[in-house]
């Protein structure tokens, strides 16, 4: 491999996930299912094979979408929030997070998720709601975005079927007054409409309700951390299985 290629390869580790996906998509490589280290390796292989740019529109569409969902208004001007992969100082104490109401979730599901009346009426049958009731969401943390009225809220979500694998990481942008701006996930969908996002939204609603009842509300000076048990999948030895 040439020195120029070595330099390119070393840069991939410093790139963010959307940029890695853009690099690969422009070269005709499908990459939605992969996580960062896998994306880095694919980029390295693309350089080794000297793959040329063959596609552009899909790559730019994703990058535009990612930038758009992170764009908020600050003091009357548009401001693009940092990529969530660059955020380091996450807090487990959720007391700064405003109380969530059911209508905040419904508005998000209608506006961002494009849920129709039938799906809203039958939300208890939705896969995302089932993930929530089965405690797939856990490790919820927040990050206050400096000089804005917004937070990032991130969680881990145990996969629905392959429960022993690494969790997905759904996230949402939440305004201080309570409404959900947009979201994303490390799953293949990654547009704010996946079932992992739905599970996170209902989990936040439940969390607010429980702490409101206990007088340990979010939005007060009482420490308030995630206290809902996570979904566990533990293998059993054959002698412990009822047949």
Share of the chain above pLDDT 90, in %: 27
Query: Minimum mean pLDDT among 122-126, 147-151, 225-229: which range?
Result: 225-229
- Cα–Cα nearest to 226, from 135, 133, 140, 134: 140
The pTM assigned to this predicted structure is: 0.67
Cα dihedral 41, 47, 49, 51, rounded to 10, equals 110
pLDDT of 140 over the 80 cut: yes
Q: Is pLDDT larger for residue 119 or for residue 50?
A: 119
Cβ of 226: how many Cβ atoms within 10 Å?
Answer: 18
Looking at residue 3, its pLDDT comes to 47
pLDDT of 219 over the 50 cut: no
Q: How far from 101 is each of 180, 209, 228, CA to CA, in Å?
A: 11, 8, 18
pLDDT of 21 over the 90 cut: no
Looking at residue 236, its pLDDT comes to 42
Confidence of residue 242 (pLDDT cuts 50, 70, 90): very low
Looking at residue 240, its pLDDT comes to 46
Confidence of residue 176 (pLDDT cuts 50, 70, 90): confident
Mean pLDDT of 130-139: 92
pLDDT of 215 over the 50 cut: no
């Amino acid at each position: 491999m040439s020195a120029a290629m070595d330099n390119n390869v070393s840069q991939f580790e410093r790139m963010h996930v959307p940029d890695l996906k853009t690099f690969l998509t422009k070269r005709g490589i499908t990459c939605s299912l992969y996580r960062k280290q896998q994306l880095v390796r694919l980029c390295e292989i693309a350089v080794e094979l000297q793959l040329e740019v063959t596609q552009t529109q899909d790559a730019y569409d994703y990058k535009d979408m990612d930038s758009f969902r992170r764009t908020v208004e600050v003091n009357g001007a548009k401001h693009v929030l940092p990529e969530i992969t660059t955020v380091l100082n996450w807090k487990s104490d959720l007391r700064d997070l405003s109380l969530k109401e059911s209508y905040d979730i419904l508005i998000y599901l209608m506006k961002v998720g494009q849920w129709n009346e039938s799906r809203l009426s039958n939300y208890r049958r939705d896969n995302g709601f089932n993930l929530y009731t089965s405690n797939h969401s856990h490790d919820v943390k927040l990050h206050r975005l400096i000089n804005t009225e917004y937070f990032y809220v991130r969680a881990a979500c145990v996969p629905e079927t392959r429960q022993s694998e690494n969790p997905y990481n759904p996230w949402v942008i939440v305004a201080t007054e309570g409404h959900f701006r947009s979201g994303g996930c490390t799953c293949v969908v990654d547009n704010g409409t996946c079932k992992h996002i739905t599970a996170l939204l209902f989990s936040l609603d439940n969390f607010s309700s429980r702490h409101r009842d206990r007088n340990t509300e979010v939005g007060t000076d009482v420490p308030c951390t995630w206290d809902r048990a996570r979904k566990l999948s533990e293998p059993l030895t054959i002698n412990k299985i009822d047949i």
